[in-house]
Every structure is written in C-alpha cells, then in structure tokens.
A and B are shown apart, each in its own frame.
Chain A
Amino acid sequence: MAKYGLRTIAVLYLFFLLVLPVGLIIWRTFGDGLGPFVEALTSASAVHAFQVTLTVALWAVAANTVFGVGTAVLLVRHRFPGKRLLNALIDLPMAVSPVVVGLALILVYGRFAPVGGLLESWGVQVIFSTPGMVLATVFVALPLVVRAVVPVLEELGDDQEQAAHTLGASRLQAFVRITLPGIRWALAYGVVLCLARSLGEYGAVAVVSGRLVDQTQTLTLFVEERFQNFDQPAAFAAATALALIAVITLLLTKLLRPKG
C-alpha cells in the first residue's frame, strides 16, 4: 500500500507542477488548430526573435565549447598555482542570479562605463546589442561543457596521450587524434546542455538586451512581451516552440548520456 501511496503522491506532484501547466500551454496553442500556431510563429517579430535567439545561442555555444574543452584540459592535465580558484570560479554562474550577471555586464560594458566607452569609441556597441547578449549567455552557460568533460577526461587518464607522443605525435596531433575522440560523447552532451541553456536564457539577456522589439528580442523575451500585450496566441505559440526545442534537446542528452 505504501508503495502505491508514494507513487500516487509522486505522480500528482509532477502532474500539478509540470504536466498540467505545460499541457495547458500546448492545449491553448493548438486549441484553434494548427493555423493560428503557424501564423503566430511566422509573424515578422517572431521570425526575428528566432533569428536573434539562434545567433546568440550559436555564438555562446561556440565560445563555451572552446573555453570549456580548454579549461577542462587545463584543470585535469596541468598543475598550476590558482587551480583551485579557477575550479571554484567556473561554478560561480550556477550560484549567481542571471539578473545580477546582466547588471554586472552593464557596469563594465555600458556606454558610460570605462570599457564600454572605449569599445563604443571604436564603433562596437556591446550593451543593448548582440555582443552583450552573447556575453550574458556565455556567462550563464559557462560551467556546462567544463563539468561534462572534466570527469571523462580524468577517467581517460593521460596514458593514451603519452603513448601518442612516444609514437611521434605533437601535442596538437595527440589532442585531435586521441583526446578529442576520447571525450566526444561527453563533449556532445555538454554542448547540447549548453545549447538548451542558451536558448532558454531569460534573466541576464533581459537586462543587457534592453528588450528592443524587432532588434534585440529573443524568443523568451518575445513570449513575455506578447503575453504582457494580451497577444496570448503568439505568446503560447512561442512558448510551445521553446518547450518543443527543450524536449528535443532533452531526448538528445538521453541518447548521448549512456555512452559517457
């Protein structure tokens, strides 16, 4: 009996927390058929929001992949002063609220801040523009690739890399031919997680983007703005699209996970 009791509680809990809200969104989205859904998502603003989201996410994923693999190799294969500090700093974005991240970026890169002013004089606008949104997203999704790769790199050991060296491989050759294939599943897992996080980011991007409709509006900002303006069909359609993307990435991570 206790077994069934626990199951019922778990199912009810998840139902009210997850299944009902998401289900309702989907129901509201497709309540009037597929037509309004397609129409809402093909409006100029929605398409633009899609493009902004993709641009920001792809840049952020690219940056975090390069940084993530580099940092993981540094943390696992090298010994240097400040290693523990670096290790701790990497997890910082997990602890700091995205809104704080956004405000901090404005403090440094805003038009009236020293660094931002300098960049502005060179014609580079960071805040209220794509670079700032990429920065915010990179920061928020920073630990994901590193934390996916580090344990696998540790488990892999450096025997194979050393063997490659004695066989004549340079550092780069050993990395490309031996290390990278060794961590490929973990890396793919980290990249997918990072992509999901980047697509769904709201808080930090909301602060640094300035929420300029048709300019710096991402899909998540679009959902919020449409909802505030009583354009519920568009809000629900975009929300459903985001949820679908999330489900797909979730399935991808499930596929990648067992192989470590």
Chain B
Amino acid sequence: MIRLEHVSKVYKTSTRPALDDVSVELDKGEFVFLIGPSGSGKSTFLRLLLREEVPSKGRVYVSNFDVAKMARRRVPRLRQSIGCVFQDFRLLSNKTVAENVAFALEVIGKPRNTIRKVVPEVLQLVGLDGKADRMPHELSGGEQQRVAIARAFVNRPLVLLADEPTGNLDPDTSQDIMLLLERINRTGTTVLMATHDHSIVDSMRRRVVELHLGKVIRDDARGVYGVGR
C-alpha cells in the first residue's frame, strides 16, 4: 500500500538530510506507528506520502501512485485516497460538525445527496451522532478530534495518516481516539500514525518504525516505544 525505496530528502535550508536512504513498506490494512524524537523526519515522511514534498532521491509509492513522479494535476486524486488527521484538529470554526465533514466531500465535487447520506453515517461511526449541528468550539478536544477523523475518513480513503493525533489530548481521551483509529483500521484502511505517546505505542503492540536523524533505526512487527525513552 505504501512503499518508500531508498528515499532521501534534503531541504534547501539544511545541510543534514531530513530523511536519509529510507526504505519501508506498509501492507494494506496495517496499523503502523512512526516514532522518533522531534526532527527525526516523521513529518517529512508523511509530507512525502501526500506529495507536499518530493524526495531528493528514491521513489515513493502509495497504492498505485508513483508519488514522486506523478503529474501535478493528478495529485488531487492521490490525496483523495489519503485521509489526514493532525494534532491541532484543523476544523473550520465557522462551520458546524456536519458542515466540517461535508466540506471534504463538497470540495471534491461529490453530489449533494451522497453527502447527505454519508455524513450522518460517518458521524455515527466516530460516536458523534446527535452533535451534527454543534460548532467546533462547543466540543471537547476529544470530540473535535473525532470530527477531524470523521472528515478524514468520510471519503473512505485507502490510507489514514495521523500526525500526533493525541498530542493535545489527555490519556483517557487519547485511548478513546486510539480505539476509534483501530476501528477504522479494521475496515481495511491502512493507518500510519506518527506519535510521541509511549503508553499508547506500548499498550497497542502494533508495528513500530523508529526514525532517528532521518534514518530507520528500528522496524518491529509488534513493538514498544523503546527502552529508556
């Protein structure tokens, strides 16, 4: 589903590569943690998958997209097959919960009756039925992240990228969010989650890819966050 082959990325403003000869493969339906300290290259990794950046060297594949080589006009297609969740939720504060989710479908031109049908479905899936008409500021952090997840998942992407999705949440709420991500993973969606959260990684016992200074230093099938960290 996701494959990086000898990928290096050097930013113009830096002498050290953000990613240095990284090769990783994620299968369809996998749940993978991407861990490592700040500056280890996690964000660059995710940005390459979204074609927010292009690699300096190597090749990136997502599903059957040759991400680094594809024409610019095809990038929207790639992004439609990837859902994204962030630490800061990135909701539109002037739209309701349902409108926030619907927005993701409106802007890719989905017909209105489809939107009317699938938005309540996905809100139910993330446990927000009954809150469709709330504004984001009326929700707790955990609920806001659920809206973000609903928005990321409403178009049924092949891959869900989560960049520190629990970074702003307390442990209990984080646990709920992880359960939700697991549920989404069980529908067959590949989930790649960049995180610093030891307890979550340790308790889930999923595949762990660890980056350090742009290199993959560990790839455990059922890993923990790491000793002494």
Are these two chains actual partners, yes or no? no
Residues of chain A touching chain B, judged by Cβ–Cβ distance below 8 Å, are none
Query: B: which residues have CB within 8 A of A?
Result: none
